Amino acid sequence: MVQSWFEVKVTYERAGEKGLNTKVNEVYLVQGFTFTEIEKRITQELQPQVTGEFNITKMERTKYNELVDSLSETADKWFKCKISMVTIDEVSAKEKKSSVVILVKGEDVTTAVKNLNKHMEDSIMDYNLVSVNESAIVDIFHYEA
């Protein structure tokens, strides 16, 4: 079995300002093998924050090829960066265009692009940045054995 990334949307109540419960909708990225495992993990991770009802409203496998974290402590947003690369098919010697999506952390679009370029600088392939979009992901939970 291969580990995958799952995007999990949750709705729950947590203690807000002045002790009042606040209903929040958040998106998390969780690494694991099965939907059952992901449901258990997200419930465990968020349980300390939950003061009322907790619901998982959506869970789906994602196709992020890589995650690029930021060294900056002020980086608090995740950006979906789509890049295209041209490869040469060894058998037919024809060019083949392929796209990948890389999740990059940054303060804003500019720093996310800088972090992506720094990550890709050792790559032997040329690439083009197709799009950069801010994601709704609040936090990421890597797989724990």
**58-90 burial, b for 16+ CB within 10 Å, e for fewer?**
eeeeeebeebbebeeeebebbbbbebeeeeeee
* Tokens matching residue 50: 């939950």
pLDDT tens digit at each of 145 positions of the chain: 678 999 999 999 888 777 788 899 999 999 999 999 999 999 999 999 888 889 999 999 999 999 999 988 889 999 999 999 988 778 888 888 889 999 999 999 999 999 999 999 988 888 999 999 999 999 999 987 7
The amino acid occupying position 145 is A
Q: Is the pTM of this model over 0.85?
A: yes
